[in-house]
Amino acid sequence: MAEEFTFIGKRVPKLDAIDKVTGRAIYGHDMKLPRMLYGKILRSDRAHARILNVDTSRAKKLPGVKAVITGDGIPDIRVGFAKDNPILKTGKVRSFRDEIAAVAAVDEDTAQEALELIKVEYEDLPAVFDPEEAMKPGAPLIHEEAERNILSMMTQSYFHGDVEKGFAESDVVIEDRLTLTRVAHCCMGTSFCLASFDNSGNLTVWNSSQMPFMSQRELSTALKIPPDKIRVIKATIGGGFGSKLDTYPHDPLCVLLAQMTGRPVRITFTREEEFIASPTRQPVICDIKSGAKKDGTLMGRQVKMILDNGAYSSWGATTPLVMMMTISSLYRVPNVKYDVLVVYTNNPYAGAMRGYGNPQATFVVDSHMDMLAHELGMDPMEFRLKNANQSGDVTGQGVKITTCGLSECIEKAAESISWQEKRGKGGNRGVGIAAQFHVGGGARIYPSDGCGTTIKVDDYGKVTVITGSTDMGQGSDTIIAQIVAEEMGVPVDNITVVNTDTAITPWDVGAHASRTTFIAGNSARLAAADAKRQILEAAAQAYNIKSGNLDLREGQISVKSEPEEGIPYAKAIRAGHFRPDGDLVLARGWYEPPTDKQDKEFRGNISATYAFAAQAAEVEVDTETGEVTVLKIAAAHDVGRALNPMAVEGQIEGGVSMGLGYGLNEALVLEEGKMLNPNFADYALPTALDMPPIDLIIVETIDPEGPFGAKGMAEPANNPTAPAIANAVYDAVGVRIKDLPITAEKVLKALKEKKSGKRE
Amino acid sequence: MAEEFTFIGKRVPKLDAIDKVTGRAIYGHDMKLPRMLYGKILRSDRAHARILNVDTSRAKKLPGVKAVITGDGIPDIRVGFAKDNPILKTGKVRSFRDEIAAVAAVDEDTAQEALELIKVEYEDLPAVFDPEEAMKPGAPLIHEEAERNILSMMTQSYFHGDVEKGFAESDVVIEDRLTLTRVAHCCMGTSFCLASFDNSGNLTVWNSSQMPFMSQRELSTALKIPPDKIRVIKATIGGGFGSKLDTYPHDPLCVLLAQMTGRPVRITFTREEEFIASPTRQPVICDIKSGAKKDGTLMGRQVKMILDNGAYSSWGATTPLVMMMTISSLYRVPNVKYDVLVVYTNNPYAGAMRGYGNPQATFVVDSHMDMLAHELGMDPMEFRLKNANQSGDVTGQGVKITTCGLSECIEKAAESISWQEKRGKGGNRGVGIAAQFHVGGGARIYPSDGCGTTIKVDDYGKVTVITGSTDMGQGSDTIIAQIVAEEMGVPVDNITVVNTDTAITPWDVGAHASRTTFIAGNSARLAAADAKRQILEAAAQAYNIKSGNLDLREGQISVKSEPEEGIPYAKAIRAGHFRPDGDLVLARGWYEPPTDKQDKEFRGNISATYAFAAQAAEVEVDTETGEVTVLKIAAAHDVGRALNPMAVEGQIEGGVSMGLGYGLNEALVLEEGKMLNPNFADYALPTALDMPPIDLIIVETIDPEGPFGAKGMAEPANNPTAPAIANAVYDAVGVRIKDLPITAEKVLKALKEKKSGKRE
C-alpha cells in the first residue's frame, strides 16, 4: 500500500492511559452523590433450598438502615435472556449466589451489618451440579415450571452438507470427548450501579454496563419505567470482557432501593462478590467427531455440546450461536452437524466472556484438527494450511469471507516458533499451533448493528466526537480519535471523545462482538468527513475559493495546488462562524454494516468481515511434576489494518494472557455449587511473571469495508492460545489433555497412564 | 391570532422546579471530586495601602495545607474588561476586597486557618471614595500607570440631532442631578469554581459562569492555556443576574491552585464573601437636562454621567453602552447628547447586573419625564403616551423598532392602577408611572450573537436538546423544551435539555442581554424543524407515503388528510433506524440574528427586536416617619408572545422585587470603602412579606423574528419599578427624591425642607 497516513498506523498512547495509571480516573466506585445511600445484597448460602422465612425485622431496626427489601415485598421482576432470574428470589434459591434481600443504609458498614441481621430459614433441596446428571429424568428440577433442566429455546441443531456422507467418504474418522471448565473475567474494576431519581421520576443510572443502550432498555422492561425516563451513563469501567454486558439483579435492585428511599443508592461489588456473583465462562462437555481423506482434505465435523448454564440464563446462554460459527466455518469443511443443549444446574450461572463461546469451540475444533493430523500422519501445520479458509469463500453457514489472512497467520506463527526445527524433537519440549475464526465487522444480533456519531468543532478547532460506542478500557476512544484525526486532517491532540450517556450520545448496540473499531470507527469516519466538508466550505466562503480546490491536512487548510501554504483550520471555522450568514461546524455520521440476520437455519452473513489468527506455542513439560512451562507464544493476527499497532499489541497480549490462564491454570473450584476460591490468592490468574515472551505478528489484509481497512480483533486474541498449548504439550510428551485447564496433576496422571499402557 | 398551540402559551412548570425546591439539585457547592482540596482567598483589610510584606511561612507549615500563593510567586495575570485587575495583588491594594493570597488545603477549616496565619504588613495610602473627588487633579491615583482615575476607553460621547437647538426650540427646559447607589445581586447561590486537570494537562472547570464559552476563552487568555485544552461545565447555579457574567480572580486562582497541587480544587464563596467580592451595580451621578414644547413634544435630552467603577474594571464598566440606548431611544426624542466618565475609586468594583445600566438610566430618564410633565402642566401619563415609541420607528441611534407595545403598556398599567381616579388626590397617597426600553432580540457585542443546537431523538422518542444556551435559574431550559415540543409536535415531557458544557454543547455567547429565549429559542426551533423533517422522512419511507403528506402532532404521525388516525412517532423512528439503509434522528440548528454591530459613533441596530414595558405604582407615605409603602404595582410588559405565561410572570415578579429593593431599601453601605452590611440581616433585601400585590399584564405584539413571536423580557421587568415609585411618591406628597434608595429618612428630610420652604 502506498497510502500515507498521519495518524493511522501510529503508536498513539491511549487517551486515558495517564489518568488511569496515576489514579486520577474517576471510576463508578469513586462516585458520591449528596444524600447517597449504600446498597448491599444478601445472597444464599445454599445451592438449592426452599426459603421458609426471611426475617428482616432486626435489620430494619438498625439505625442508619433506610430500606430492606425481600422478594415478597416487590413485584415479580425477572432479568436475563430467558427471563428466568428473579431479582430477589422467593420460594427457593437455586444457587449460592442467589439474591434474597437488599438493603440501603447510610454507609457501607451499616449496610453490611444489616445483612448480617437478616435471618433466613431454609429447607435444603436435593441439588444437581453435573449437567449430564441434571438432564436425566428424575433429576431435581431447578425451575419447576419447566419439565426438564434444559433451556429449551437454546436446544439447537445446525447442519450443512451431509456429515454422515462426509464421514463415509473419509479415510480417517476420530471421535473424542473434550471438556472445558469454568473461569472468571477477573476485571480489575468490580461491578457497580448508582441510581438516582429526580422528583419528576426521571431515573439516572451510572453503571458499569458495556451496553448502555441495552441497559436502558432492559431496566425499562424490568422495572416498567418508560425507557425515555431512563438515562444510563457509563462511568469509567475497570474492564468488561463480557461480564458487564448483561443486566443482572443488582442493577434493578439498586434502582428499586433508590425509588423506595427517595435517595441516590450505590451498589459496589466487593472482590469476593465479583467472583461469586458475576457470570462465568460456560463449562462445556463436548463430543466431537472429525473425518478427513488421506490427502488431508477435511470431510466432516460433528459436534455435540452440553453447556452448564448454571441456575439462570444470561445472554451467555446464547454463546452456542458463536460456537456454531467456528464449528461450521473454521477451516473449509463441507459437512457439518452441530447439536447443543444448554442445561440448568445448581451452579453459579454462566454469561458472556471474551470470545463468547469461541475459546471453547476453538479448543475443541483445533485440538481435534491436531489429533486428526497425527492420525493422518500429516504435519499439523500443513494440515491446517491445506484446509485453511481463503478470501472469497462462502462457508456452509453463509459466512462471506472477503479478506482472509489465515494461511499467512499460520505460516508466520509457525515460522516464528521455528516449527520445522522444533516439532517432534522430543526432550520434553514441543510446539503446537492453533487457529481461530471470529466476527470482525460487527455481528447482527439486534435489528440494528449500527452506531451514530456527532462531531462538534469549536472556534478553537477543538473537536468533540460524541460517539454511541462504549470505551470500557479497550481503548476505543483512542482509535476513534485517530480515525477522526486522519479523516479530518487535524491533530489527534485536538480531539476529545465523549462516550456513552444515553441522553447525549447517538445510539449504538454496545461493546460486544469485537465490533467497536469497525462499526463505531466507520461511523466516526463518516462524521469526520462531514465535519471536514463543513470546514472546507467555511474556508471556501471566507476566501472565495471553491471548496473542491481546498484540502485540510495536519490542521492546515491549503489550496491543493499550493500545499505548502496553509491557514490554521480554526481560523476558517471562526470566519465561518462570525459571518452574518455563517454557521457552526456540527457534523454527524451513521453507519449500519451491510450484513444480514441469520435465517431460521442459522444461515446468513452476520458480519461485514471476519478476523483470523493463528497462535503457536513452545512448551516444556517437567515429567517429574507434570508442570507445563510455556517458553514462547507466537501470535499472528489478521487485523485488516493495525490502526494503532500498540493498541493491537495490547489486545493480543491481553488475549494471550487470558488464554494462557484458560489453558493452564484458571478454574473456579466449586464444591457442591459453592465457590472455594473467590479471590486472587486462590484463583490462579497469570501475573506478569507468568507470561512467556510473545512474538506479536500483525497481518494486514486491508479490509475494503473496514475503517481504513481495519477489522475487529479484540476477542480473537483470546481464542487460540489454549489449544496451541495443548497441541504443544502433545508434541512435547505425547499425551493429549482433553480437559482444560492443563494442570500439572492432569499431565502427570496422563504420563503415568501412558507409561503403564493405560493410555495410547 | 387564530393560531392554536399545544405547548406555546401554556403554564408549563419549570423542568427543574421540583428538584430545586426539594433540595435534590446538585449545585457546584455540593460537588466533590476524589482528592479534592478546598481553596480560600485572603483579601485586603485596607482600602488603599502599599503591601510591605506578606509572610506565608506559618500558613505553609500548617498540616493539611497543600499550597499558599501570593502575587510574587505567580505570573502577572490580569482579568476583566480593561485587564487592570491582577488576580493576586502585588505592590499595593486598591480596595477592601483585593486578593492578596490564596491557599489550598484538605478541608475548609484548615484553609481558613491558613489564611489567618498569613501576616500582611501594609502602609496605608491616601484613598478616595467619591468619584468626583477622584477625578480632581491631585487625587490619589488608584492605578499609577494612568494619569487620572478615569477609565479612558470608556470616556464616551454620543449624540444625535442638535441638543442645543432642541433646547432652544423648547418651551420648557429643566435640569437636575440624580444619583443612584450601590446594590448587590443577592443570588441565593454564591459563586464557586472547581478546577481539575488530567495528567495530559486538560483542564475541566465547573463554575458558576453565565457565559461558559466566554469563561473558557478568558481563562485561556489569563492562564495561557490553549482554549482547546479547557472545558467549562456550568454546574447548577443559584441565580446569576449578571454577577456571574465575568471572569473574576477566584476562577484563575482556583485553576492555579489545582495546577500547583496536581489535585482538584474547589473555591466556594461564603455569603459574606459573595457580598464583598462579587461586583455591585454601578453607583451613578447623573446630570440630566430635558426640554419640551408646550404641547408636550419632547425636544431634547442631555445627560452627563459619572460612574463609580470601584478599583477595577469588569465588563460592568461597559454598561454606559446600554444606558446610552435608553437615553437615546426611550420615547421619541429628536436631539440627544450623552457624555460619560467611568471613574476609579477605592470602592469595591462594579459589574454587570440585571438591566446592565438600564435601571440607572431608566430612573434618570423617567424621573425627568415626570418632572418635565409637571413643569409643562401635563398629565405625566399623557405626556409619555404622546412621546411613546411606535412600531416602525428608527431612533436617532439607529435602533429599528419592529414591534412596539409601549403605548399599550402605558395605557394598561395606568388603567390597572386607576390612574385617572387616583392621581393627584392627596391624602398622602399617590400614583406614578415609568416605562422602559431594552434589547429583546439579542445584543450584538461579540462578532457572533448566535446560538447552536443539536437534537438527538432516540428509539423511544426521547428528545435530547443540546443547546449552547445557559440556564442559570431563569428557566430557559423549560422554554426551549416548549419550543421544541411545539415545533416537533411531541410531548414536552419527552424532552430533556442539556445545557452548557463547552465540550459538548454548540457555541453560544452566554446568558446576558435577555437574549436566551429569543436567540437560543430560534436556534432550538430550527433544530426541531430539522428533527421533525427527519422523522417524517423515516415515516414516509417506512409506510411508502410522501413525507409532505404527513404531519406530526402531539406525538402522533398521521396523513394530513386523515388526522385522526396516527402512529406513535417513536415507532416511525425505530422503523427508520432498523432498516438496512436506515438512519438515526440527529438534527441541528444555528441561529444568528439579523443585526449589526454599532459603528464608531455608536449607531446601529444591535438587536433583532426591542422589549417595552410600563409599570405603575401606588404608594402611601407616612408623613410622620417618611416611610413609603407600596400599595400596588401594575406591570405591563410587551413580551412579543408569552411562551410560558407562568415563567413570564415569574420574571416580572422577580424584576419588580429587585426594582422595589432598588427603589426603597437596598444599599451597600460603605465607610471609607469598607462594606458595613455584607449579610442578609443588615442588607435590606425585600422579602415575600415586603411585596405589594402586583398586577401582571402581558402585552403581546407577536414579534415576526421571535420564536413563535417572543421577545426577551428578563431584564426589562427590573428597569421601571424604582422610577414609578419615585414618581408616585411625588404624586403623594409633592417631594421629589432624586437619590436612590427612597429611604424614610430622605423622605422625612424632604418633607421638612418643603414645609420650611427650603425646597420647592
Tens-place pLDDT, residues B68-124: 999 998 999 999 999 999 999 999 999 999 999 999 999 999 999 999 999 999 999
Q: Which of A198, A460, A498 sits opposite B228 (nearest CB)?
A: A460
Provide the 10 A C-beta neighbour count for residue A59. 23
Q: From the centroid of its chain, how far is CA A8?
A: 25
Residues whose CB is less than 8 angstroms from the CB of residue A599 and which lie 6 or more positions away in sequence, other chains included: none
If you average pLDDT over residues B226-238, what whole number do you get? 93
| Higher local confidence (pLDDT), B581 or A119 | A119
pLDDT at residue B710 greater than cutoff 60: yes
Residue B305 has pLDDT above 90, yes or no: yes
A198 CB neighbours in chain B (<8 A) are 18-19, 24
For residues B197 and B262, the answer to whether their CB atoms sit within 8 Å is yes
Nearest CA of chain B to the CA of A528: how many Å? 15
Alpha helices (H) along A330-404: 358-376, 380-387
Per-residue confidence (pLDDT) for residue B651, from 0 to 100: 97
Give the torsion through C-alpha atoms of A371, A376, A379, A382, to 10 deg: -100
Q: Catalogue all structural domains in chain A, each as residue range(s) with its CATH number.
A: 17-24+450-591 (3.30.365.10), 32-125+198-237+244-269 (3.90.1170.50), 284-443+599-755 (3.30.365.10)
For the stretch B15-30, pLDDT in tens is 999 888 888 888 999 9
The mean pLDDT value for A17-43 works out to 92
> Are A584 and A378 within 8 A, CB to CB?
no
Q: Is A224 on the interface with B (CB under 8 A)?
A: no
Q: Which residue of A has its CA nearest to B491?
A: A228
Reported as a single tens digit per residue, the pLDDT across B342-366 is 999 999 999 999 999 999 999 999 9
Q: Hey, are the CB atoms on A456 and B506 less than 8 Å from each other?
A: yes
Q: pLDDT class for A615, splitting at 50, 70, 90?
A: very high
Nearest to A24 by CA among B203, B193, B29, B503: B203
Look at A498 and B504 and tell me if their CB atoms are within 8 Å.
yes
d(CA B620, CA B513): 34
CA distance A47 to A45: 7
pLDDT at A586: 97
d(CA A396, CA A384): 18
Is omega for the bond preceding B252 within 30 degrees of 0, making it cis? Answer: no
Alpha-carbon distance values, A21 to A15, A646, B198 (Å): 12, 17, 12
Chain-chain contact of A588 with B588 (C-beta, under 8 angstroms): yes
Sequence-separated (6 or more) residues with CB below 8 Å from residue B136: none
Q: What CA–CA distance (Å, rounded) separates A467 from A528?
A: 12
The CA distance from B530 to A37, in Å, is: 42
Integer Cα distance of B97 and B105 in angstroms: 21
Residue A37's φ and ψ, nearest 5 degrees, are: -105, 165
- Give the nearest chain B residue to A19 (CA atoms): B199
Q: What stretches of B192-239 adopt beta strand conformation (E)?
A: 192-197, 203-207, 230-234
Residues of A with Cβ-Cβ distance to B447 under 8 angstroms: 577-578
Q: How far does the CA of residue A451 sit from the closest CA of chain B (Å)?
A: 9
Q: Choose the closest CB to A590 out of B231, B584, B588.
A: B584
Strands, sheet with A556-559, edge to edge from the N-terminal-most edge strand: A550-553, A556-559, A567-568
Percent of chain A with pLDDT over 90: 94
Residue A296 clears pLDDT 60, i.e. is over it: yes
Residue B655 has pLDDT above 90, yes or no: yes
Give the separation between CA A454 and CA A523, rounded to whole angstroms: 9
The residue count for chain A: 760
B332 burial level (CB within 10 Å; 0-12, 13-18, 19+):
middle
Is B454 touching A (CB cutoff 8 A)? yes
Q: Are B559 and B545 in contact (CB under 8 A)?
A: yes
Do A349 and A149 touch, CB atoms closer than 8 A?
no
What confidence score (pLDDT) does residue B1 get?
A: 43
Closest chain A residue to the Cα of B458, Cα to Cα: A507
Instruction: Identify the pLDDT of residue A3.
Output: 66
Across all residues in chain A, what is the average pLDDT?
A: 96
CA A55 from chain centre, in angstroms, equals 40
CB B417 within 8 A of CB B584: no
Residue pair A726/A736 in contact (Cβ under 8 Å)? The answer is: yes
Q: Please compute the mean of the pLDDT values over residues B452-461 and round it to a whole number.
A: 96
Q: Which helix (H) or strand (E) holds A477?
A: helix A476-488
Q: Do A496 and B30 touch (CB under 8 A)?
A: no
Looking at residue A1, its pLDDT comes to: 43
Residue B18 touches chain A, beta carbons under 8 Å: yes
**Element spanning B727, H or E:** helix B721-733
How do residues A423-446 score in pLDDT, each as one tens digit? 999 999 999 999 999 999 999 999
What pairs with residue A304 in β-bridges? A287, A339
Distances (CA, A) of B592 to A534, B337, B472: 17, 32, 22
Q: Which chain A residues contact residue B15 at CB under 8 A?
A: 200
Residue B36 to residue B197: CA distance in whole angstroms: 11
B577 to A507: CB separation less than 8 angstroms, yes or no: yes
Q: Is B38 helix (H, G, I), strand (E, B) or coil?
A: strand
CA–CA distance, B431 with B451 (Å, rounded to integer): 42
Q: What does the pLDDT read at residue B565?
A: 87
Nearest to A24 among B198, B502, B504 (CB): B198
- pLDDT at position A24, please? 84
- Whether the per-residue pLDDT at B580 is higher than 90: the answer is no
Quick check: B507 and A459 CB within 8 A? yes
Cα separation, A122 vs A45, in Å, equals: 10
Provide the pLDDT for residue B3: 66
Query: What type of residue sits at position B654?
Result: G
Instruction: Chain A: give the shortest CA distance to residue B356, in Å.
Output: 24
Provide the mean pLDDT of chain B.
96
Number of A:B CB contacts under 8 A? 130
**Which residues numbered 414-443 in B keep a CB inside 8 Å of some CB on A?**
none
Give the pLDDT of residue B309: 97
Q: Which residue has the cell 495546577?
A: B259
d(CA B44, CA B108): 20
Is B551 exposed, middle or buried, given 0-12, 13-18 or 19+ CB atoms closer than 10 A?
Answer: middle
pLDDT digits (tens, 9 = 90+) for A499-553: 889 999 999 999 999 999 999 999 999 999 999 999 999 999 998 999 899 999 9
pLDDT digits (tens, 9 = 90+) for A190-230: 999 999 998 889 999 999 999 999 999 999 999 999 998 99
Residues in CB range of A333: below 8 A, 6 or more apart = A298, A299, A300, A301, A387, A396
Reading the block at residue A601, the C-alpha cell is: 437455519
- The confidence band for A565, taking pLDDT boundaries of 50, 70 and 90, is confident
- ipTM comes to 0.89
Partners of residue B32 in chain A, C-beta under 8 Å = 32
Surface of A (586-625) touching B: CB under 8 A: 586, 588, 590, 592, 594
Instruction: Give residue-wise pLDDT tens across range B241-277.
Output: 999 999 999 999 999 999 999 999 999 999 999 999 9
